Amino acid sequence: MSTAVQTAVVGVTGYAGAELARLLVRHPRLKGATPIFAGRMNASPDVHDQARGGVTLSEIHPQLQDSHGTGSLRVQPFSWELLEDLGVEVLFLATPHELSREAVPEARKRGLRVIDLSGAWRLEEATNRAVYRFEDEGSATALATQAEAVYGMPELHRHAIREAGLVANPGCYATSVILALKPLLAAGLVDLSHGIICDSKSGVSGAGKAPVAKTHFMYAADNLSAYGVFSHRHTGELLEQLEVDGETLTFTPHLLPIPRGILSTIYVRFVEPQTNASIEACYGDFFKGSPMVRLYGTTLPQIQYSVRTCYADIGFNLSKDGHRAVIVSCLDNLLKGAAGQAVQNLNVMQGWGEAEGLE
């Protein structure tokens, strides 16, 4: 059981980065070790920012200004020497995939434990990683780094996460679908010959902070649109973690005209008829000791229940004959789908209570 650990965050300017900063600064275990916030990698820092030690968090995210002085913490120009001089032990990367591919091998070489929020190291299979078109794919360094990466979903891999040097934080859509399906698949209840349909919807913050045409207000407002059909980057995570193939599972994401939150509606058929009690028992047994999953039984969760929380909410309804189920899974894409899950992984790595700083 460890005490305070010195953490650092690179990539604090985005939506998930802001949530990560908020959670870490207020984490009860980190009161004696204020997180370090570093600016962009591979960028020449502004001379004025260098002179004054970096911009403050409140200049980037005004909502972080509070009575605890969070907003006055500075985002310092990044360097590996800075992290070393300040005694950083755990590095959070809320950076683009390509930057994480460069940064993680260097961080590991320097003895840092890494929690990476990007998709750079989530996928074990080269065929699934192909969607990212990584320039270093197949190199000795990339293969060695990938080999030590642990998929950062504590509900599935907490024992491996505890000793991991590199934790690859899951995608937000993937988290909502995997948590809803894994208990049923692990118990052998699902008839895979009938296929699984995952219909997921996310708020626009899931696309990141950089403006693009499809997240522009004039496109997203008063609209609902499907995208990434048969090609979304999170599909590989679903296939690997659920241990099914692409012919069995159909995943379609949609863009909701709301700022944040995910709702996944999942359709399955069972090998044998089930009852409400048998499905509740299946979920209850699987998630025993998993404080960040809330089970709603036959009450279907809604985005408004989980938004701005670090919980994943799961509920289901059975058909009258017990052969089919509709499962609804909700979470906040910036919290349980990103920053909250990253802090949950920190808790596991340090041997702290899994829900500390998250409830």
Structural domains of the chain ordered from first start: 7-170+338-350 (3.40.50.720), 172-333 (3.30.360.10)
53, 10 in Cβ contact below 8 A? no
pLDDT tens for 301-318 read 999 999 999 999 999 999
C-alpha angle 144-147-153 in degrees, rounded to nearest 5? 140
Q: How far apart are the C-alpha atoms of 100 and 105, rounded to whole Å?
A: 9
Q: How far apart are the C-alpha atoms of 238 and 211, rounded to whole Å?
A: 27
Mean pLDDT for the chain?
A: 94
- Give residue 211's pLDDT: 76
pLDDT tens for 244-298 read 999 999 999 999 999 999 999 999 999 999 999 999 999 999 999 999 999 999 9
The three-state secondary structure class of 113 is strand
Q: Which helix or strand (DSSP H or E) is residue 340 part of? A: helix 340-350
Given a cut of 80, whether residue 196 has pLDDT beyond it is yes
pLDDT tens for 57-81 read 999 999 999 988 889 999 999 999 9
Q: How far apart are the C-alpha atoms of 73 and 35, rounded to whole Å?
A: 9
Given a cut of 50, whether residue 83 has pLDDT beyond it is yes
C-alpha angle 346-116-44 in degrees, rounded to nearest 5? 120
pTM value is 0.95
Catalytic pick among 172, 198, 310, 330: 172
290, 235 in Cβ contact below 8 A? no
Told to judge if 330 belongs to the known catalytic residues of this protein, a careful annotator would answer: no
90-93 and 113-116 beta bridge pairing = parallel
Q: How far apart are the C-alpha atoms of 349 and 164, rounded to whole Å?
A: 7
Residue 203's alpha-carbon distances to 52, 188, 211, 318, in angstroms, are 37, 33, 14, 27
